[in-house]
Amino acid sequence: MRLFGTDGIRGVAGTYPLDASTLTRIGQVIHEDLGAGVVVVGRDTRPSGRQICEQVLGMLKDADVLDLGIVPTPAVACETKSRHADLGIMITASHNPAKDNGLKFFGSDGFKISRERAKQWEQRVAQTPEISSRTSLSCQTVSATHYEDLVRSHFQQDWGGLKVIFDLAHGAAVNMVPRVCRSIGLDAQYLAGSRDGERINAGVGALHPHKLAEQVLSQRADVGFAFDGDADRLVVVDRHGNCVPGDVVMYILAQCYVREGKNLDRLFGTVLSGQGLEDALRGMNIALERTPVGDQHILDGLRSTGALFGGEPSGHLIQMDLLPAGDGLLAALRILRHLTQDSDLIVKARQAVPSYPTYESNIQVNHKPDIHDVPALRDLAMTIERALDGTGRWVLRYSGTEPLLRVFAETKNMDTVKPMLDSFCRIAKEVLNG
């Protein structure tokens, strides 16, 4: 069975691949790789996090384990590199509900491990026999001092009295963000700031910004920022209580780079990045390079070209001049820095990025065949592609972490294409659940 998805390992805690047997075998494979190496580990607030930590790391008989406790995913990436560790492990299921959990892995360079290394581990875990015993976990508790120093070194400034609200999603950001904001002189308010992991992402955070929007309006705040469960994702709410589209947030950050005099001739998005963003960036002489969905693909593009910035409409935003990982806090602070200089920054960006009609649907599936191997879907897909030729585009992809087929389309002629898309989704729901 498949172990790694698009972003590490993820599932329902206590079931495959997060059952005790699989987790101990994962730990054994890591032990064989690292021996007496150094491992940095962090987690979000989910109740299952500590047990998963013990089951995996209990196999690392010779390694020095540095436990950061509850921290955002990017803090693990930063500390892994800064402490010259051999591996970083973040225990989180990101935006998923509390019953889920997962594992993200970082190499000694602070980047997520390669797909090749993940595939090797997956094969070796499958070949590793059942393990009946393990050692008790022994680790050293440390603070994410290098990450906090990174934030302070770039964002210690006068914030001009901005009124800011952060939605912490009852997740990994609950300790770090308030502490760091105090240290840089940013006086902010916080929602969903408890460490109650049973409530992580429950009606709050990046996937549910409505409560943040209500607070921004009622408190007359200048801006609101929502994180997901591990704080590697950012959603922005403007002063009018409107959720800012992900493509507009990308454009805002591109503007920030230009205002700072940084050389930004290209940035990386995904196949879900809109035509409006591409058109707006072209007006700034910035090319939009599209990759497959997933921040690993964004990172591949950034590393291979030396580009500074990339991200996804969902809110994963990677600023290579700061950290080679998606980081909600660092993105929020960069936007805030420029809001102190231009209070209409977000309003102007919304006007600059044109919006074209879009279509999105998530279809629950029981299996994931190649669409071209399903005649009923293949033929209709070809009809849709012909209808979109020259007027728009569409993307079909299976989720790497959930049993979903995601359908996305963008076209100026949506009235013509929408009935075809509706038919495709209806047939897909029938065929892929048979």
Catalytic residues: 94
Q: Are 114 and 23 in contact (CB under 8 A)?
A: no
Residue 142 has a CB neighbour count (10 Å cut-off) of 15
Environment class of residue 425 by beta-carbon count within 10 Å: exposed (0-12), middle (13-18) or buried (19+)? middle
**C-alpha span between 176 and 162 (Å, rounded):** 20
Exposure on the CB side of residue 432, measured as CA atoms within 13 A: 26
